[in-house]
Structure 1
Amino acid sequence: MAVNMPENPDTASRPRFGRLRDWAIGGSLLAGLVVAVQFTVGWGPLLAPWRDLSPWLLAWLFLLTALSYALRAVRVSDYFSPRFAGQFPVMLRLTILHNTANNLLPMRTGELVFPWLMRRYFGHGLLDAAASLVWIRLLDLHFLALIAILILNLSHPSGWWWMLAALWLAGLAILAVIAGLGNASILVGEGRVRTIVRGVLLAAPRNPWLIARVYFWTAWIWGLKFAAFTSLLKFFLPIDVWRLLAGVMGAELSSVLPFHGIAGSGSYELAAVAALVPLGVDPKLALAGAVNLHLFLLGSTLILGGLAFLLPKTANAADNGFSHDVR
């Protein structure tokens, strides 16, 4: 059952995209990256391999990335089903713009765009949307952990990794149990913290079939993205697949760092290099590969973000019902 939680109307009109300190840190990371590349690899040699990259391969990898973005909209639509039935083009615009902001704004302030656009396009409660995003991100992390198990199995094959993966997947059943705590008597009462906790719990999917579907979309989203990014990174950094996967994993997990540069610059590369160097990859080659991978990400982000503005932003009021639903 979804709960539209109370919110302050004075702060609901627009999100705050980071403080001045966040932009200062992000700008410092960006400047540091530019200087580090120039004095270690050189921007000319770093960018030179792009001339030999097949345009058809680049188009294919971009298509896989775009499809992963589209599936994010499918996942969110399914998560809130049937509330936003018939509104997929608007949801696609919302999801792409959310991910564009996530990839461009410093210190993860792009996450604020999701609840803001949910309110702007659908009149959805800010805190309810934010709480739902928390659960979606937890499912993302759960699947990334599954990819980490795959990497370990590729590096040191063993049947134990398959058993661990099966147990990890079985742990999804705990989600339905946790969601049920939202209706527990211990959380009934007044108080802002208790209200927020209860709202977060009630925003969780508790229907096993819905959990399975949302996780299915999550698997496809990350599967396509890792396939595209690993293929591109291999062009710039010809090493074993499991090392490439580890590099992409490190880059994607840069979002959990306490600092995050403008457009992820600096933090994205640092996380990728930190994952690759301990695996025996030369630091300069790792940095060059990480920067080129990031350039592909930013290019895809800007193209898809621009195209998103061509999609409708007005939801059909007749289909935009807000009756409580059982997730």
Structure 2
Amino acid sequence: MQSDAAMRRPSAFARHRLTLIALAAILAYAVFVHYIWGWSTIFAEWRGIGYGTVALAIGLLVSTYFVRAWRLYDYFPRQTGGRFIELFHLAQVHNLLNIMLPFRSGETSFPLLMRTEFGVPLLHGTSALMVMRLLDLHALLAAGGLGLVLESENKLWPALTWLAFLLAPIPAYLAKGPVLRLLKPKLKGKIGRILEGIEDGLPATLAGLLRAWVVTVINWGVKVAVFAWALGLMGVAPIAASFGGALGGELSSVLPFHAPAGVGTYPAGIVAGALALGAPAGKAAVELLGKAAVNMHLIIMLSALIGAAVSLLLNGLRKLVAGR
């Protein structure tokens, strides 16, 4: 008969589920890219841009995944303390699922994975995810707005407006206490318990919010700057249009109408954003912009694959060192 310890031991799938999900997602992603575009076509396009430039852009994008994982690590210190590599691995699986599944349905994997891997209650994880997505959207708009400031002739008022928007999360957080004190006496029973769960997922202190906010701004600032730089190298001009393209593409991935793997919607977002902020609308210019948008999308997709592969490697090394 099996011992009690052996019977309580999780199955092989349960122990390695994140790794298996990540491997399946990476394989599906790679096959999908080959089916839609063909890897040989992609590499031919990147040869014209320069492999060194593409590698630098991908390296910078992958570095932002570590920044985002640290934001989670700081947001859930009690549950994730001392387990950064495992959390980074979870974050990359969530990122792949989020990219591949349509209509942002991949977001639902985050609270489920956090509950399974770190014991975070579903409502807590969902509430925290909502806060982080609001911070993402705010930082993304702020990063895109920087392009407008740089392009404006009289920079004083645009810069002051941009700064006020950048600091907006602070007064919004300070309003949390009065709003919750107003709602709590009026909401009882199940709704009251839901409100408590939502409150539990909000930053406990202003310092906690500021850390999450600063890391979010750094993350999206780097991403949008890299996107705008890469689009500029691909011929997208002026600089405001490059920022607009970066903003449009990322907004298409943040908003609910995201297509599977961003096919169609992400390049369309880049084109729309660039045209809205001053890119030429002539036939030749739009064709160049469309080509740059597809190339930028592929760079982002490859960075997601590499980020997931790095997380698998680090998690495998962690298990090897731990003797598991």
Asked if the contact 2:243–2:274 (Cα under 8 Å) also holds between the matched residues in 1, the reply is: no
Q: 1:181 to 1:96 in 2, by over 3 A?
A: farther
Question: Separation in 2 of the partners of 1:238 and 1:276?
Answer: 8
2:72 pairs with 1:76: yes
Return 213-222 or 178-187, whichever deviates more. Answer: 178-187
Partner of 1:232: 230
Partner of 1:179: 176
**Structure 1 gap ranges (5+):** 1-12, 15-29, 38-42, 317-327
Asked if the contact 2:250–2:266 (Cα under 8 Å) also holds between the matched residues in 1, the reply is: yes
Q: CA RMSD in A?
A: 2.9
Write the deviation string for residues 261-294 of structure 1: whole angstroms up to 9, x where unpaired. 1101011112111112342333222211111100
2:49 pairs with 1:53: yes
Write the deviation string for residues 16-49 of structure 1: whole angstroms up to 9, x where unpaired. xxxxxxxxxxxxxx9xxx6xx9xxxxx97x9754
- Which letter does structure 2 place at the counterpart of 1:144? L
- Which runs of structure 2 are paired with 1:246-285 in the superposition (5 Å)? 246-278=244-276, 279-281=278-280, 282-285=285-288
Following TM superposition, the consecutive aligned residue runs of length 4 or more in structure 1 with deviations greater than 6 angstroms are: none
Q: 1:57 to 1:165 in 2, by over 3 A?
A: same
Asked if the contact 2:151–2:239 (Cα under 8 Å) also holds between the matched residues in 1, the reply is: no
Asked if the contact 1:247–1:275 (Cα under 8 Å) also holds between the matched residues in 2, the reply is: yes
Asked if the contact 2:144–2:224 (Cα under 8 Å) also holds between the matched residues in 1, the reply is: no
With normalisation by structure 1, the TM-score equals 0.76
The sequence identity of aligned pairs, in percent, is 31
Asked if the contact 1:176–1:206 (Cα under 8 Å) also holds between the matched residues in 2, the reply is: no
**Structure 2 gap ranges (5+):** 1-13, 18-31, 320-324
Partner of 2:159: 162
Partner of 2:137: 141
Q: Which residue of 177, 201, 207 corresponds with 2:199?
A: 201
Q: 1:306 to 1:173 in 2, by over 3 A?
A: same
Partner of 1:294: 297
Q: What is the count of residue pairs matched by the alignment?
A: 278
Give 1:166 shift.
2.7
Question: Separation in 1 of the partners of 2:73 and 2:165?
Answer: 26
Give 1:104 shift.
1.6
Asked if the contact 2:236–2:279 (Cα under 8 Å) also holds between the matched residues in 1, the reply is: no
- Which letter does structure 2 place at the counterpart of 1:167? A
Partner of 2:121: 125
Partner of 1:26: none
Question: Separation in 2 of the partners of 1:125 and 1:289?
Answer: 42
Question: Separation in 2 of the partners of 1:183 and 1:76?
Answer: 24
Higher relative contact order (CA 8 A, sep 6+): 1
